[in-house]
Structure 1
Amino acid sequence: MTFLAVAPPDKWDPLAESLASPIPLSPITGRPELLAPLLGEPLSSDPFLRRLLGIFEPSLWPVIETLDSFAAYLDPYTASEEFMHWLAAWLDIALDETWPADRQRRLVASAVVMYRWRGTRRGMLEYLTAYLGTVPEVIDEAERVEVTDEPLVGGEPISPMFRVIVNGPAPEEELSRLRAIVELAKPAHAGYRIEVRTRRARS
């Protein structure tokens, strides 16, 4: 049960006097529907109580504002740079500080898909696409092995190999980043090589 103590009319109450002053009501204190479930209609629309709540509004408003926009904090595309890096750490994604911001955000946003397919050709493709912004070509060399009737007993084992083809030019710094991504996303037992395809100018 909730009680509201009010001083008798013949007693001077400085708090009541200050609350009775003409303070403009803000949107927060002017929302009696927030009080209705707890206090009921008579109290929820009482001017005295609304002004009393207004005293605490300056400290509560930033909290309410943050909660109202909390979804934006969890979206890599709208979160602040600092919070976006926190999301990346929470998802165990190592971001290179030298990467452009848009690439970092794409990688964090693609984390769920990338983890689902990590260690597969599709996982490599998803990771590289998120970083590059374009779809590279990832070729599984094992799919190109010709099957014959020749016995392979005693022969050299066939090692899985991926060929990653990206459009150039690509400086050495960019290639080192691509290698780091492929090392993280590829099957652990597979090898790879990166090829840069440069477009020839038309004569």
Structure 2
Amino acid sequence: MSGQLFVQLQGETVKMLALDMNLLSIGRTPDNGLALPHPSVAIRHAEVRRLQDQVIITDLGAGDTFLSGKRLTPHQPQVLDDGAVLQVGPYVITYTLVQHVPASLHSADPLPPESLDDLRFVPLQPPRARYPALPAEGAASSYLSYLPALFTESDFAGRLLQIFENVWEPLQHRQDFVDMYFDPATCPEPFLNWFAEWMGLSVDPHWPESRRRQWLREAINLQRWRGTRYGLMRMLEICCGVTPRVVEDPHRPYHLLFVLPDPAGEQDVTRENIEQVIAQHVPAHVMYEVRYV
């Protein structure tokens, strides 16, 4: 028996989707069966499968998915019952059988007209916490425990070994967690520009650390969408922290209108930054106009 998904955002029904396929992917990018364009939604967030008379949802582990207020365990399928309510980022998704559609989910216009409420500045994430190796403490080095008991009686040996412990332990700490040094989400801040050189990317050194990390994490995927409406919107969200609206006028081919909130008063972004990013990533044959509201 088929069903439908009703997607609501801030109380408004924005999409209605019939589950007439065996597999439905849910994510942020337009190549998903159910695209939810919001920064808090992962590129591949979850998937819905139809198996005989059951509909099953699986969180793919890249973001949080809630079913009836409870967080789903990643990669653990869950059966959706009639009336089940999912939450993916700011979106509330209700699954219901076709013949049992709640009246509250009906909408005369399933795609309500756009307003200026969706234009916003994306808040910066706090800098990543750092956990350096702690220096040796106490009157004697812990290395004494690896020596015969005779040496523990020597105060000089304990103090001498502290010198080597303070030199070697940070190196050992780095080797134990070396994989974290090659991940843009966890590497030390000076490594970010080095990673950008690997991929031939230009990273503005004046960008906040959290934006540089996010840009490097999504850079390869965004190359697939470069020049598209989604790619331009996501690029501005990451590089400038602003969610724009990109308007394509069918009466003016090869022309884009960018509607953005005015960055006046924002500390880390200016109009010049925004227009520089647009100029770098908009297709060469496309004219564009930037309007601040």
Q: Higher relative contact order by CA 8 Å / sep ≥ 6: 1 or 2?
A: 1
Instruction: Check the 8 A contact 2:233/2:246 in 1, yes or no.
Output: yes
- Give, in whole Å, the separation in 2 of the partners of 1:193 and 1:72: 42
Deviations 1:16-57 (A, max 9, x none): xxxxxx95239xxxxxxxxxxxxxxxxxxxxxxxxxxxxxx9
**1:76 Cα deviation (Å)?**
2.2
**1:189 Cα deviation (Å)?**
1.3
Q: Does 1:187 align with 2:279?
A: no
Residue of structure 1 in register with 2:224 after alignment = 116
Over aligned residue pairs, what C-alpha RMSD do you find?
Answer: 3.0
Q: Which has the higher helix share?
A: 1
Q: Does 1:68 align with 2:176?
A: yes
**1:190 Cα deviation (Å)?**
0.9
Residue of structure 2 in register with 1:129 after alignment = 237
- Give, in whole Å, the separation in 2 of the partners of 1:25 and 1:62: 19
Quick one: which amino acid aligns to residue 71 of structure 1? D
Gaps of 5+ in 1: 1-21, 27-56, 146-157, 198-203
**1:60 Cα deviation (Å)?**
7.6
Quick one: which amino acid aligns to residue 78 of structure 1? T
TM-score by length of 2: 0.39
Identity %: 27
Instruction: Check the 8 A contact 2:240/2:274 in 1, yes or no.
Output: no
Match of 2:146 among 11, 25, 29: 25
TM-score by length of 1: 0.54
Quick one: which amino acid aligns to residue 99 of structure 1? W
Q: Does 1:161 align with 2:282?
A: no
**1:188 Cα deviation (Å)?**
2.2
Instruction: Check the 8 A contact 1:84/1:105 in 2, yes or no.
Output: yes
Gaps of 5+ in 2: 1-142, 148-164
Look at both structures and tell me which one has the larger radius of gyration over its CA atoms. Answer: 1
Residue of structure 2 in register with 1:177 after alignment = 273
Instruction: Check the 8 A contact 1:113/1:126 in 2, yes or no.
Output: no
Instruction: Check the 8 A contact 1:159/1:191 in 2, yes or no.
Output: no
Instruction: Sort the Cα spacing of 1:170 and 1:104 in 2 relative to 1 into closer, same or farther, 3 A.
Output: farther
Q: How does 1:76-115 map to 2 (within 5 A)?
A: 76-115=184-223
